[in-house]
Amino acid sequence: MRRNLSDSDSTLSLDDFKEILKSGSFQYVGLHGWGEPLLNPHLFEMITYAESQGIYTNLTTNGTMIENNIDGVFSSGLREIAFGVYDKELFLSVLPHIGNLVDQRDRQGLKLPKIYMDITIFKGSVDHIPELLDLAAELRVDAVILHRLFNVYKVSRSAEYISMKAEKSLVAEAISQAKKKSLNLYLPQRHSLPCKVVKHCIFITAEGKATPCCFLPESYLGDAVKDGVQEIMVSKRYADFVKTMGKHPICSKCRW
């Protein structure tokens, strides 16, 4: 989807990040989006600042840059790190780095960050999921997250979601496998409107624009730096969006 965005090369500044946090009542910040967060030179300063304000931090990465950033992961106070898995070969290439992160954390007797594998379910990944769950157990990650593919924009014909019947079968098999491996597993939740994402979260782009959801990166509700998050979330524009989600061309089709 990132290929289709009008501006995909921006980087959120540390000053803007601080202004955004000051302008809302945040309990949790997930540092991810349509780009690799470890490319941001101020990422760990952002995490340290958020944690100093009592805000729980999560980082989602593809893992390709983790080896040179392990010290920052530990020193910043990061609570959770998730490795996004959508391609088996890419995951296998970063597997040693994830293992090294787990080993270093455990050798130091640290409890944080929690380390997760975040696996996208779609037709191209279904056959690999049993193997990925075995690898997760061998790595001793804290949990595996299974989530549905979001491809309402149809950006790739090869990336399609499985049927709900197939999902039910996959979930049953994954639960059975996880129990045998003593592996914690988070499963896709039932979708409803207005969805839990929009009810409890707001997405801020790298340009500082507020949108209802990371899957609606160009549906601007306001400027999070200039307008402030709190003002945006009590605005008529935001309320109207929530009320009409069922008729929205994207939200009405979303199962995520």
Q: Are 94 and 102 in contact (CB under 8 A)?
A: no
pLDDT at 130: 95
N- to C-terminal Cα separation, the chain: 15
116 exposure class (CB count in 10 Å sphere: 0-12, 13-18, 19+): buried
Q: Which ranges of the chain does DSSP label H, i.e. alpha helix?
A: 14-22, 43-52, 70-75, 88-107, 129-139, 164-181, 196-200, 229-233, 236-243
What is the Cβ-side half-sphere exposure of residue 79, based on CA atoms within 13 angstroms?
Answer: 14
Q: Answer whether residue 179 shows pLDDT above 90.
A: yes
**pLDDT tens-digit profile of 219-229?**
899 999 999 99
207 vs 159, which has greater pLDDT? 207
pLDDT at 204: 94
181 vs 158, which has greater pLDDT? 181
Q: Are 70 and 102 in contact (CB under 8 A)?
A: no
Separation between Cα atoms, residue 102 and residue 75, nearest integer Å: 15
Q: Answer whether residue 72 shows pLDDT above 70.
A: yes
- Residue 75 identity: S
Say how far residue 63 (Cα) sits from the centre of its chain: 13
Q: Kindly write down the DSSP assignment for every residue of 217-244, as one continuous string.
A: TT---EETTTT-HHHHHTSHHHHHHHHT
**pLDDT tens-digit profile of 9-40?**
688 999 999 999 999 899 999 999 888 999 99
Sign, Cα dihedral of 88, 89, 92, 98: negative
Q: Answer whether residue 51 shows pLDDT above 60.
A: yes
Q: Could you tell me which residues are beta bridge partners of residue 148?
A: 121
pLDDT at 61: 95
Can you list the domains of the chain with their CATH numbers?
A: 14-188 (3.80.30.10), 191-218+236-255 (no CATH)
> Within the chain, what is the greatest distance between any pair of CA atoms?
52
Q: Answer whether residue 153 shows pLDDT above 90.
A: no
Residue 59: φ, ψ to 5°:
-125, 130
Average pLDDT of span 90-110: 94
Separation between Cα atoms, residue 76 and residue 31, nearest integer Å: 13
Separation between Cα atoms, residue 99 and residue 116, nearest integer Å: 12
pLDDT at 193: 85
